[in-house]
Amino acid sequence: MAKTRIAFHASTAPAAQDALAALTRAYGQSLAEDAEVVVALGGDGFMLQTLHDTEELGLPVYGMNCGTVGFLMNAFDLEGLPERLALAEETLINPLEMRATTAEGEVVRALAINEVSLLRAGPQAAKLAIYVDGKLRLEELVCDGALLCTPAGSTAYNYSAHGPILPIGSDVLALTAVAAFRPRRWRGALLPKTAVVRLDVLNPEKRPVMADADSRSVQNVVSVEIRSEPRVQHRILFDPGHGLEERLIVEQFA
């Protein structure tokens, strides 16, 4: 049965606003609280924002690309949207939870669907110590930064930093260095989804570091703990044959 109660959310980009006007004329507009599905109009960044904004509603989100890359999006088409929604395949994603402690002692928590990253915030390279499940695994990583990503985020910043692409169905997280200087040949690690990763900033006064969880930034961090959050599930809809699993395979042969 086609889903007919649709809540359209659009970015401020002109193309997305034009799409919003056309789609609401064709299919109406429901409040998110009354809808069966949310349709996000924009690019991948707006899709992440929509997933965060609607996570408490438990609704599936179907993205239509009005941006550039659109890895998390379906192709835009004004026609046949209810039929596409009825046939769409659902992918479930658990976000990461970041717990960042600042030099002032403030603790900031945030969820990230793609990745949590630590990046140098000054002219000198960052120095990080890496713990996995409470055990010191790397005493000193000298780098521009490091990130922990989900399978959904493995083709984003992680891939640009030469990290691995992870199959969506895998219970694995990727820990990847950004421009590692020492150990020069360290290429990161694949960790079980249940792992708790902590990155401590060494000499933060001289080598300041910021943390970022899906564009929520925290300055002057001294320690960041990251884990998968199984209590939160994001439901993403894709047209048949064009889900994240297929996109991850295609990306590796592009």
- Give residue for tokens 């924009």: 42
Q: Which residue blocks in the chain are alpha helix, DSSP H? A: 14-27, 44-54, 81-87, 157-160, 244-252
Instruction: Answer for the pair 248, 164: CB distance below 8 angstroms, yes or no.
Output: no
Question: What is the number of alpha carbons within 13 Å of residue 94 lying toward its C-beta?
Answer: 16
Report the amino acid identity of residue 34.
Answer: D
Instruction: Answer for the pair 95, 226: CB distance below 8 angstroms, yes or no.
Output: no
Instruction: Answer for the pair 151, 168: CB distance below 8 angstroms, yes or no.
Output: yes
Strands of the sheet containing 209-213, edge to edge, are 189-192, 172-178, 145-149, 115-120, 209-213, 216-218
Burial-class residue 56 by CB neighbours within 10 Å (0-12, 13-18, 19+).
exposed
Tell me which of 44, 200, 212, 214 is the catalytic residue.
44
Is 44 considered catalytic here? yes
Residue 177 CA from chain centroid, whole number = 17
Instruction: Answer for the pair 211, 217: CB distance below 8 angstroms, yes or no.
Output: yes
Q: Do β-strands 216-218 and 37-42 pair in parallel, antiparallel, or remain unpaired?
A: unpaired
Catalytic residues: 44
